[in-house]
Structure 1
Amino acid sequence: MKIGFIGTGVMGSRMAQRLLGHGFQVAVHNRTFQKVQPLIKNGAIYSETVSELSNQCEIICTCLSMPQDVMTVYMSKQGIIDNAKPGTICIDFTSVGADTSKIINRMAGAKEISYLDCPVSGGPEGAESGTLTIMAGGGEMAFQKVKPVLDVLGDTIEYMGPSGSGSIAKLINQYLVSVHSLAASEAMVTGAAYGLDSEQLLKVLKTSYGDSKILRRHMEQYVLPRHFTPGGAVKYVHKDVLLANQLLQEAGLTQFTGRMAEKAFQKAVEKELSEQDMSAVIKILEEETGTVVKLKD
Structure 2
Amino acid sequence: MKIGFIGLGNVGGKLAGSLLRNGVDLTVHDLNPSLVAGFVARGAGQGDDPQQMMRDLDVVITCLPSPEACEAVLRQMLPEVTPGKIWLEMSTTDAEAVKRLGAEVTAKGGAAVDCPVSGGCHRADTGNIAIFAGCDRPTFDRVLPILTTMGRRILHTGPLGSASVLKVVTNYLATVHLVANAEALTTAAAAGMDLNTTYEAIKISSGNSFSHVTESQVILNGSRDISFTMDLVKKDVGLFQAIADQTGVPLEVSPLMVQIFEDGIARFGERELSPNIIKRLEQATGLDIRAPGFPAEMVDDEPEAPGFEVVPQGRQPGGT
Instruction: Identify the TM-score tier after normalising by the shorter chain.
Output: over 0.9
Cross-structure match for 1:189: 186
Cross-structure match for 2:70: 70
Summarize the alignment of residues 39-188 of structure 1 with structure 2, pairs less than 5 Å apart: 39-75=39-75, 79-188=76-185
Does the residue aligned with 2:221 lie in a helix, a strand or coil? coil
Distance 2:172 2:55 in 1: 37
Summarize the alignment of residues 220-231 of structure 1 with structure 2, pairs less than 5 Å apart: 220=217, 222-231=218-227
Does the residue aligned with 1:28 lie in a helix, a strand or coil? strand
Distance 1:259 1:139 in 2: 34
| Partner deviation per Cα, 1:177-225 (whole Å, 9 max, x = no partner) | 11111111111112222332222222222222111121121221x1111
Please state how far the C-alpha of 1:273 moved relative to its aligned partner. Answer: 4.1
List alignment gaps of at least 5 residues for structure 1: none
Cross-structure match for 1:31: 31
**Aligned partner of 2:115: which letter?**
C
Identity of aligned residues (%): 29
**Aligned partner of 1:100: which letter?**
A
Please state how far the C-alpha of 1:272 moved relative to its aligned partner. Answer: 2.9
Please state how far the C-alpha of 1:70 moved relative to its aligned partner. Answer: 0.5
| Partner deviation per Cα, 1:58-90 (whole Å, 9 max, x = no partner) | 011111111111111112xxx111223332111
2:254 to 234, 255, 258: 258
Higher RCO by CA contacts (8 Å cutoff, separation 6 or greater): 2
| Partner deviation per Cα, 1:263-290 (whole Å, 9 max, x = no partner) | 1112122223432332111112222222
Normalized against structure 1, the TM-score is what? 0.94
Please state how far the C-alpha of 1:54 moved relative to its aligned partner. Answer: 1.5
Q: Is the 8 A contact 1:205 1:211 kept in 2?
A: yes
Please state how far the C-alpha of 1:296 moved relative to its aligned partner. Answer: 6.1
Q: Is the 8 A contact 2:3 2:58 kept in 1?
A: yes
Aligned length: 293
**Aligned partner of 1:226: which letter?**
G
Q: Does 1:203 align with 2:200?
A: yes
Distance 1:203 1:230 in 2: 20
2:265 to 266, 269, 290: 269
**Aligned partner of 2:163: which letter?**
G
Normalized against structure 2, the TM-score is what? 0.87
Distance 2:35 2:263 in 1: 30
Bigger drift between 210-219 and 274-283 goes to 274-283
User: What is the alpha-carbon root mean square deviation over aligned residues?
Assistant: 1.6
Distance 2:225 2:215 in 1: 12
